[in-house]
Amino acid sequence: MHTYDSDDLTAIREGVRALCAEFDASYWRKIDEEKGFPEAFVKAMTDAGWLSAMIPEAYGGSGLGLAEASVILEEVNACGGNSGTVHGQMYNMFTLLRHGSEEQKRHYLPKLASGELRLQSMGVTEPTTGTDTTKIKTTAVRQGDTYVINGQKVWISRIQHSDLMILLARTTPLPEVKKKSEGMSIFLVDLREAIGNGLTVQPIANMVNHETNELFFDNLELPASSLIGEEGKGFRYILDGLNAERTLIAAECIGDGRWFVEKASAYARDRVVFGRPIGQNQGVQFPIAEAHIEIEAADLMRWRACAEYDSGQNAGASANMAKYLAAKASWEAANACLQTHGGFGFACEYDVERKFRETRLYQVAPISTNLILSYVAEHLLELPRSF
């Protein structure tokens, strides 16, 4: 099992930190203020090969495991950056790698590894069905050599900075399938061709500088070769990638948590009020100490999830619990950090309010905390399914 200080992970940490040093707090602050996209950072991460960590060497990547990938995203956030701008490439690649045909993998994976193509987007969520994914209404109807797509998606990230998107659509109507999880399929959509030819994109302004969009499909035609894996099995394919995705999100939250604890501790040591550092007051110390303990505990669960996943075991329980613990811990740390800074916590130049907004997202997306609790209740504790 990996630990923090194994040599290979330490080397990765140092490499990512060195890259992140080029993109300091003022870089991220400016991007956030302008609601811009960190193009230079994403390019540097791609060129350095960090985003292709889990693509096998045979397809131009580094063939590393989930443990190594998780350290990469953790360090970006621990350095004050936002890996929400790049993580899609890692998450979405799993679907193609695990379920794509050899031809699709040979065509796309080397281009993703080199940065020639970007696969930053996945379209699952819909406005009228939300978390109840099996009820999605977007349809894909086979007509000869094409699939015709109609429907709507919401909250789809990074469309403006992606060439490709994984799309989940229903290929067999709900009443005609034995189980509601059947009859959905996934497609690899070439956004460069689709936008303006049946796909309309409408950005959604939101509290984080996280590029999200509403998508409208109006008779979008996709070549039949865009189908990934077997028709009808798309929901299972999406679920397959979730344990890795949840573990990576946990690592990102752990990175955020470490940033908040360090920032709060430094401020509490330096800020003098009533003639002594505020950090001398237990009312200030304890929430920071508590956040530190919770992040360390979440980290242990994250390593368990990585070890299980990388050795081919079922990581479902650990990945879900790691994501739950880490998202909660980073949010507690964010709160403690903001409170420690008093009024200055609200000042953009301290970066606390930006990271506070960024880490809050992970209690809602890509999966809400309640849905993790219901997974644990149903699958680990054998309680009746609640929905």
Ligand X SMILES: Cc1cc2nc3c(=O)[nH]c(=O)nc-3n(C[C@H](O)[C@H](O)[C@H](O)COP(=O)(O)OP(=O)(O)OC[C@H]3O[C@@H](n4cnc5c(N)ncnc54)[C@H](O)[C@@H]3O)c2cc1C
Near ligand X in 227-256, by CB under 6 A? none
Q: Which is nearer to ligand X, 201 or 208 (CB)?
A: 208
Give the per-residue contact string, 31-70, with ligand X (x = CB under 6 A; - = no): ----------------------------------------
- The angle subtended at Cα 263 by Cα 294 and Cα 284, nearest 5°, is 65
Q: Which of 210, 304, 341, 355 binds ligand X (CB under 6 A)?
A: 210
Work out whether 157 is an interface residue with ligand X (CB under 6 A): yes
Cα–Cα distance, 76 to 252 (Å, whole number): 8
Cα–Cα distance, 225 to 223 (Å, whole number): 5
Q: Are 127 and 170 in contact (CB under 8 A)?
A: no
Give the per-residue contact string, 87-126, with ligand X (x = CB under 6 A; - = no): -----------------------------------xxxx-
Q: Which of 11, 297, 364, 380 binds ligand X (CB under 6 A)?
A: 364
Instruction: Name the CA dihedral angle for 318, 42, 111, 68, rounded to a multiple of 10 degrees.
Output: -30
Closest residue to ligand X, based on beta-carbon distance? 130
Cα–Cα distance, 264 to 339 (Å, whole number): 9
Per-residue tokens: 387: 């929905």
Distances (CA, A) of 105 to 101, 245, 387: 6, 20, 36
Instruction: Report in angstroms how near the CB of residue 103 gets to ligand X at its nearest.
Output: 26
- Which of 109-117, 153-161, 176-184, 310-318 is the region at the interface with ligand X (rule: CB under 6 A)? 153-161
DSSP H helix total and E strand total for the chain: 13, 10
Instruction: Report in angstroms how near the CB of residue 180 gets to ligand X at its nearest.
Output: 15
Work out whether 374 is an interface residue with ligand X (CB under 6 A): yes
Cα–Cα distance, 320 to 139 (Å, whole number): 30
Work out whether 371 is an interface residue with ligand X (CB under 6 A): yes
Q: Which is nearer to ligand X, 92 or 265 (CB)?
A: 92
How remote is the C-alpha of 83 from its chain's centroid? 8
Near ligand X in 323-362, by CB under 6 A? 361
- Which of 19-27, 283-291, 330-338, 364-372 is the region at the interface with ligand X (rule: CB under 6 A)? 364-372
Among positive and negative, which fits the CA dihedral 44, 48, 50, 51?
positive
Q: Which is nearer to ligand X, 62 or 181 (CB)?
A: 181
Work out whether 206 is an interface residue with ligand X (CB under 6 A): yes
Which residues lie across from 168 on neighbouring strands?
Answer: 186
**Footprint of ligand X on this chain (CB under 6 A)?**
122-125, 130-131, 155-157, 206, 208, 210, 212, 361, 364-368, 370-371, 374, 386-387
